[in-house]
Chain A
Amino acid sequence: MKHSVARSLEKYDKAEFGFWLYLLTDIILFASLFATYMILRGNTASGESAAALFDPKYALLETVLLLTSSFTCGIAGLALRFKHKRMALGLLVTTLLLGLAFISLELNEFATLINEGQSWRTSAFLSGFFTLVGTHGLHIIIGLIWGAVMLAYIIKTGVTSDSLRKFTLFSLFWHFLDLVWIFIFTIVYLGASL
């Protein structure tokens, strides 16, 4: 038996609403992590402080990568809407590559810090830093997996109303991560030198 169009519209309407709610809970999650970080920021256990450890220029590069990926993701959604399958796929691949570059830079930063003896075991401040930034990174990794699945799905089923709606949710998630990163960039990296 074939599914009626109205029925599937109703389902996606609910799914999108539910997804917004999930994003709301994720905001609370990040807010708690931000609060924790800000409270523990000074607790360096007589180790290096944020100003000495973080390089805002490096973080700016990460920011540019992620912002660009958000932009290409948005354009990919538009392309999908206008049924330009090739272009949408190309832009989605670009988005994922940019995300991959972002997460590589982040992991590289983590590795450098740890090699310098500045791991999450060093102080409460660094525990807070690794957890806050790491949680965002984990979200990015999940986003990358999701994006890859979207890619395969669109290649397989083509541009349908189904794939369009599924893509909308992914793109919401990706923009949301961008937004969280702006806060991380401002509070953790720019705030370090204050």
Chain B
Amino acid sequence: MSQLVDFFIGRLSPEYIPTEPITLAAAIGLPIIALVVVGFITYTKRWKWLWQNWLTSVDAKKIGTMYMIVAVLMMLRGVSDALMMRLQTAVAVNGASGPFTSDTFQQVFTAHGTIMIFFVAMGLLFGLVNWILPLILGARDMAFPVMNSISLWLFVAGMMLINMSLVYGGFSNGGWLGYPPLTELEYNPGPGVDYWIWSLQIAGIGSLLSGINFFTTIIKQRAPGMTLWKMPIFSWSVLVTSVLIMLAFPILTVTLALLGLDRTLGMHFFTSDTGGNPMLYINLIWAWGHPEVYILVLPAFGVFSEVVATYSKKMLFGYRTMVWALVAIMFLSFIVWQHHFFTMGAGANVNAFFGIMTMVIAIPTGVKIFNWLFTMYRGRITFSAPMMWFMAFVVTFTIGGVSGVLMAVPALDFQVHNSMFLVAHFHNVIIGGVIFGFFAGITHWFPKIFGYKLHDTLGIWSAVLWQVGFIVAFIPLYILGLMGAVRRLDSYSDPTWQPLFITSAVGVLIICTGIAVLLLQLGYSFLKRKELKDTTGDPWDGRTLEWSVPSPAPHYNFAVIPTANHRDEWWYRKQHKLTKTPKSTFKDVWLPRSSGTGIIVGVLAGLAGFSIIWHLWWLLAICFISVIITVIRRTLNDDSEFQVSATELFHEVGKGR
């Protein structure tokens, strides 16, 4: 009898209900928030609307918006983790206890890194690419709209799973990359690490599918006439990023799976006994991890290329060198992973090779920075919010790049390895590069998606607060790192460190006000959406094809697929007064139908992850079979599109203008 019960409940047990006040509060709070949201939707009778217009939508722009919503929510979660960490280190000196226990602190820094990279940065990236890629290519949609929706829902399933660990079972305490042997069963028997593994695995497969989707879209769906060398740089950056995704994410899949096999089936890949090799894990995860950094930052570079050219009213300087720089970074990013662990002891020659390769990456990156600056040179620059984000980026990213080149010297790295210096470095490049880049992109393309502009002054204020907060928060960490403070430290004994830690905490608070202003900007612009309405479809005097359609962009993107003969096609047309589309060019259009496949696969994947974590093998089997049936039904369905006739389109366009 008890065996039967065990079969059905796996290792679910009341012992995993949180008891610590902070986690308990979160555990109670999160379900309440969820209930309130569900209650609100039910009360306002929005379920059908939500299901038809959003959850089953395969329109890339809507999928992008859903990614964005998740990413922004997760950013609030990740930032509160950061605040908790700096509060702890501001207080916990010389035996004084901070607000958090060591165990909670470990969960907090793991949660911060995991959520910020996988669910914030990746979410903003996929959100932005979905918003803009088809539009900027002159295409109607992604190459595989339903697969796009599957990617989204796998991402959401991973996000739900990782947040569920907060409510029941505890977060992993293994750091954002979950190094074994600490994350092996022997030292970490609870479900936290399993939550971490399977939520990243599910989200990661979603990312892999996105990579395939983006690449196919760029190769197959460009507007007629748009050769690769006439593509806007943003699409080049996405092209390179999707190659990186396709080459790197399978390695992550394998790495996480092997760790999962160790923990679930008792294998010995990375255990410290029976022949296991933990350093193998560290090599594998960084063979994914370093390219991942470029997966995040290259699209941000793409955004800046569009933004700087637009707001300087000049053609991008050095288009070809920009492309070659992207391609060079793509190759180099695969032969530098070992710089994350020079201390492994691979020997002087190996370390020298990886050190030099790492320094070499600074060259194409520097080329890009100078190209942007030369684009601005003698341009008619408008200093609106996206440009402010760009300027913040130049300062912050360059500091981060320089400290990165410093750490590429193995001898120096031995001193600062795993110290606060490293923490400061990667925040410099990730916040400065990725986050500022995506904020610039969101501000720039917001009117194209929603039909109204974001309030500019508030955006500028947010950028200033972020920039100031960033400097105050992270410069002290560089100093602390040089003084010997290691990362992930929950208490220390040297009182001279305290002022620096307190300064850093103040910096985080300033960043928080920056985020508050950012949210205020969203809210205020929504309230003032009538005044901020974009009536022209081209509010910034844009250069590329997305600005040739009305705002918000119609669900079919282009009533007539444009022909592109120039890099800045829309700019060229405006210069030569070729902006009107004659009626004779309208044709019937095929559009993909909404599909529940994505959300169904997402729910099943989430359930499957849950059942592996809790050893519910019967549920896993059910999920597995259901996924197979769903996929088979989908692939055999040949009637997945509907038609909009040319006359309908023509009238709709007439109304919009």
Contacts and interface: CB of A to CB of B under 8 A. Distances in A.
A45 B268 contact: yes
Nearest to B215: A21
Given A3-B641, A28-B247, A131 B267 contact: yes
Given A14-B216, A17-B216, A123-B268, A36 B258 contact: yes
A32 B250 contact: yes
A127 B269 contact: yes
Nearest to B279: A39
Interface string A103-124: 0000000000000000011111
A48 interface: no
A120 B263 CA distance: 12
Nearest to B267: A127
Nearest to A124: B275
A145 interface: yes
Given A123-B275, A124-B274, A39 B280 contact: yes
Contact of B253 (A29, A43, A122): A29
A124 B212 contact: no
Interface in B188-243: 208, 211-213, 215-216, 219-221
Contact of A131 (B261, B632, B638): B261
B254 A45 contact: no
Contacts of B276: 40, 43, 124, 127
Contacts of A125: 275
Nearest to B254: A32
A110 to B, nearest CB: 13
Q: How large is the interface on A (under 10, 10 to 19, 20 to 34, 35 or more residues)?
A: 35 or more
A64 interface: no
Interface in B621-657: 628, 632, 635-636, 638-639, 641-643
Contact of A21 (B216, B274, B632): B216
B250 A29 contact: yes
Interface string B330-358: 00000000000000000000000000000
B72 interface: no
B381 to A, nearest CB: 40
A18 B212 contact: yes
B266 interface: yes
B498 interface: no
Contact of B268 (A14, A29, A127, A149): A127
Contacts of B215: 21
Interface string B247-281: 10111011101100110011111010111110010
A162 interface: yes
B212 A21 contact: yes
A22 B269 contact: no
A24 interface: yes
Contacts of A145: 628
B324 interface: no
A13 B123 CA distance: 29
Nearest to B216: A18
Interface string A38-78: 01100111000000000000000000000000000000000
Contacts of A14: 143-144, 216, 220-221
Interface string A8-22: 100001110110011
A21 B242 CA distance: 11
Residue with the greatest number of chain B CB neighbours at <10 A, chosen from A4, A8, A121, A127: A127
A153 B635 CA distance: 11
A121 B268 contact: yes
A36 B280 contact: yes
Contact of A43 (B219, B275, B632, B636): B275
A44 B275 contact: yes
B590 interface: yes
A172 interface: no
A98 B212 CA distance: 32
A30 to B, nearest CB: 9
B91 interface: no
Contacts of A17: 216, 219-220
B284 interface: yes
Contacts of A162: 638
Contact of B275 (A7, A40, A149): A40
Contacts of B216: 14, 17-18, 21
B246 interface: yes
A153 B219 CA distance: 30
A100 to B, nearest CB: 17
Contacts of A121: 265-268
Contacts of B249: 25
A21 B635 CA distance: 18
B220 to A, nearest CB: 5
Nearest to B242: A21
A39 B632 CA distance: 38
A164 interface: no
A52 B144 CA distance: 48
Interface of A: 1, 3-4, 7-8, 13-15, 17-18, 21-22, 24-26, 28-29, 32-33, 36, 39-40, 43-45, 120-125, 127-128, 130-131, 145, 149, 153, 162, 166
22 contacts: A1-B643, A7-B641, A13-B220, A17-B219, A25-B212, A25-B246, A25-B247, A25-B249, A28-B251, A32-B250, A36-B258, A36-B269, A39-B280, A40-B269, A45-B273, A121-B265, A121-B268, A123-B275, A124-B275, A149-B632, A149-B636, A162-B638
Interface of B: 143-144, 147, 208, 211-213, 215-216, 219-221, 246-247, 249-251, 253-255, 257-258, 261-262, 265-269, 271, 273-277, 280, 284, 590, 628, 632, 635-636, 638-639, 641-643
Top 7 closest A-B pairs, CB basis? A43-B275, A124-B275, A127-B267, A28-B250, A32-B254, A29-B250, A45-B275
